[in-house]
Amino acid sequence: MTAVLAITSIYSLGMIGTVIGAFKLELARSLDIDNARVGGLISVMTFTSMVVSLVLGVLVDTIGYRPVAASGFVLAAISVYMLVSARKYGSAVFACFIMGTGWMSLMTFGNNLITRVLFDGLNPSAALNFGHVFGALGALTPPLVIGLFVRRFGFRHTGNFFTVLLLIPLPFVLFTVFPDIHSRFVPAQALVLLSNPAVIIFSCALFCYGGIESSFSSWITTYANSLKFTDRAANITLSIFWLSLMGGRLAAAMYVSPLTETAVLITCIIIVVLVLVILVKNEHKGIATAAVIVAGFTLGPMFPIIAGKAVAKVDPLFRGSAFGVIFAAGVLGGSTIPALIGIHSRSGKHFRKSLVIPLAVACTLCAILMSARHM
């Protein structure tokens, strides 16, 4: 049951991660706000999750899995209900603050637990790759459900469906027996991670990765529109990206071992660099679609392998705290780099030229991973 709950939490965090974007049009109409203020809601959620990540990692190491998991599912459910019920923008902002806390609680719980209960705790990268197949599936759920339900049941009833869905695992969390935590952990000891070379290097790597993945997920539709894709075709392209990313993670979980993960990681980032070069120069729809498929498949295994390599270099006593540090770095990258693309794209140049920003980040990540290949 612990493995099922870990996977359920990762599926749920994938769902929460895309729910604001999926409800974007309905929120804008309901609250009478423009796209910039909708973007502000996403920023509140991501900034909150970045800050609380540092605290939640230490909490897992201190008080165990159950309180963090239970609060994650409850806060996530409450936040969705508050968001779709909000009548004023301030209420929606507060809902996103709670959502960021719940989202990161599930992130910390699920990713920490799954590395202990799958593959006998001996292959963190494979465990994370397998778990995040369901994370990608969760990310696909809100757009699909909203597309099917909103017209029939309305915006708020559809939101309430997600609220109920997020509460289903709660009874199992309350009665499942989780692995013991290390009773000798002292929160102040977590500060030692700030001088751990592996944590520093892989946090920088995850900052870059978070920026690249979020750039794809945030701007694929805009890029596709710039090549004269219809809105429907652009959204299909985004779905293809997530499916490809899910396929990459599943393949890595099945075939990548601790002996080969470094080579796979470096190969993947080199391919991503080449794909971004093609996207910057490309003007053809078919090439764009093929490049997005390749990007998704090669980006997919990278986050789990980076996170897995980081925690493998850390004393199990500090594993939750280590996750907190590297996730904070990933969220920071995921919120910063797409914003820079948005600012650059306002210059009036062809949108594809804005992809030089994630290209530069990908080159930086390649350099980081090459320098850390013996770690």
The pLDDT score that the predictor gives to residue 348 is 52
The pLDDT score that the predictor gives to residue 189 is 59
- CB of 113 closer than 8 Å to CB of 58: no
- CB of 41 closer than 8 Å to CB of 142: no
- CB of 135 closer than 8 Å to CB of 243: no
What residues have CB less than 8 Å from 100, skipping those under 6 apart? 44, 45, 46, 47, 48, 49, 52
> pLDDT tens digit string along 37-77?
777 787 788 888 888 887 887 788 778 888 999 999 999 99
Q: For residues 310 and 315, what is the distance between their CA atoms, to the nearest angstrom?
A: 11
Q: What is the mean pLDDT of residues 125-147?
A: 84
Whether residue 152 has pLDDT greater than 70: yes
Q: Of the ranges 44-58, 121-135, 257-271, 332-346, which one carries the lowest mean pLDDT score? A: 332-346
20 residue type, one letter: I
Whether residue 31 has pLDDT greater than 80: yes
Q: What is the dihedral angle through the alpha carbons of 276, 280, 284, 285, rounded to the nearest 10 degrees?
A: 50
Q: pTM of the predicted model, to two decimals?
A: 0.82
Q: For residues 223 and 227, what is the distance between their CA atoms, to the nearest angstrom?
A: 7
pLDDT averaged over every residue in the chain:
84
Query: Which band of pLDDT confidence, cut at 50, 70 and 90, is reported for residue 347?
Result: low
Of 214, 205, 211, 208, the C-alpha closest to 310 is: 205
Q: What is the mean pLDDT of residues 226-248?
A: 83
What residues have CB less than 8 Å from 189, skipping those under 6 apart? 317, 318
178 residue type, one letter: F
The single-letter DSSP state of residue 74 is H
> pLDDT tens digit string along 108-123?
888 888 888 888 777 8
Q: What angle do CA 228, 233, 239 make, to 5 degrees?
A: 130
> pLDDT tens digit string along 178-212?
887 655 555 555 666 667 788 889 889 999 999 89
> pLDDT tens digit string along 278-328?
998 888 888 989 999 999 999 989 988 998 888 777 777 777 777 788 888
The pLDDT score that the predictor gives to residue 182 is 59
Of 327, 314, 312, the C-alpha closest to 106 is: 327
What residues have CB less than 8 Å from 63, skipping those under 6 apart? 181
